[in-house]
Structure 1
Amino acid sequence: MRRFEAKALASAECPDINAFVVILAEHADGSGARLEIQRPLSSDEQDRRLGLDTYCLCTEEGATHYGGVMSWALTQSSLKILLDAKAAESLGVEGGFVVDFAPESRTDLKDGLERVLG
């Protein structure tokens, strides 16, 4: 599992990139370890045909994978995301992510995750 503490968290609808995003970053300026989870606001037939009509996971290295989350769980101050083998390999992690965060961010993070991951 790749573990880091997120000092910056954001959930936002971004019409300019046609996505709703949840971003967890190690440093307040967005640098360091980062996990972005994006879901398109709208999809077309080509997206569906190519399997791009679902969420994607992105890291600070630029690795990206569509789908692949087997489960996710929130405690009061951490997020655990378990990935299937293909997603873990694509993202360069073993098993998934554990991201610690300030407890006061939990509600906003939960709402954003439910929107992108269901």
Structure 2
Amino acid sequence: MPIEFVAHVTGVDDEDCLVAGIAERADGTGRALIFQAGQEPPDDQDVRLGLDTYCLVTENHGTAYGCVRELTIDGDRLHLEVSADALDDLGLTDTAIRVRLAVPPASIEVLRDHLGRILIYGRADARPAVLRL
């Protein structure tokens, strides 16, 4: 059964690395998804360690690299599909996540921009097969 929640908070940052996040509540409780990517191209060490792509972090600090298979934003609805082999690392029970973005339209636009930059970072084979922002 898909994981579903309402995100009342979105945020982005590009100071040290590219970050885009959505969360159920501003106090940090509840569901959260944080997408991150480097500002500079991956280096040789990143490639050796398999860290030469973006990462996804969940509210329980579960982390997986290059695991997003599909991400779409349609109006105030975000749909995310992650790879089945990342479920344990992410601490999730289903590959499908559906989020209603209960934030102003301007916040959704900023989120779209950052997600578009983050999810194309690094090696091509880790990029989502479907990316509709």
TM-score using structure 2 length: 0.79
SS where residue 14 of structure 1 aligns?
Answer: coil
User: 2:115 aligns to what?
Assistant: 113
Matched ranges for 1:50-65 at <5 A: 50-65=49-64
- Paired AA for residue 44 in structure 1: D
User: 1:3 aligns to what?
Assistant: 4
- Paired AA for residue 18 in structure 2: F
What do the CA deviations read for 1:2-54 (whole angstroms, capped 9, x no partner)? 21111110111131xxx210110111233321100101122321011111011
User: 1:44 aligns to what?
Assistant: 43
Matched ranges for 1:10-49 at <5 A: 10-15=11-16, 19-42=17-40, 43-49=42-48
In the alignment, the residues of structure 2 paired with residue 20 and residue 53 of structure 1 have an alpha-carbon distance, to the nearest angstrom, of 14
In the alignment, the residues of structure 2 paired with residue 29 and residue 75 of structure 1 have an alpha-carbon distance, to the nearest angstrom, of 26
User: 1:77 aligns to what?
Assistant: 76
In the alignment, the residues of structure 2 paired with residue 66 and residue 96 of structure 1 have an alpha-carbon distance, to the nearest angstrom, of 17
User: 2:125 aligns to what?
Assistant: none
The size of the alignment, in residue pairs, is: 115
User: 1:95 aligns to what?
Assistant: 95
Deviation of the 1:65 alpha carbon: 0.4
Deviation of the 1:88 alpha carbon: 2.6
Deviates more, 1:19-28 or 1:97-106: 97-106
Report % sequence identity. Answer: 36
Gaps of 5+ in 2: 121-133
Q: CA RMSD in A?
A: 1.4
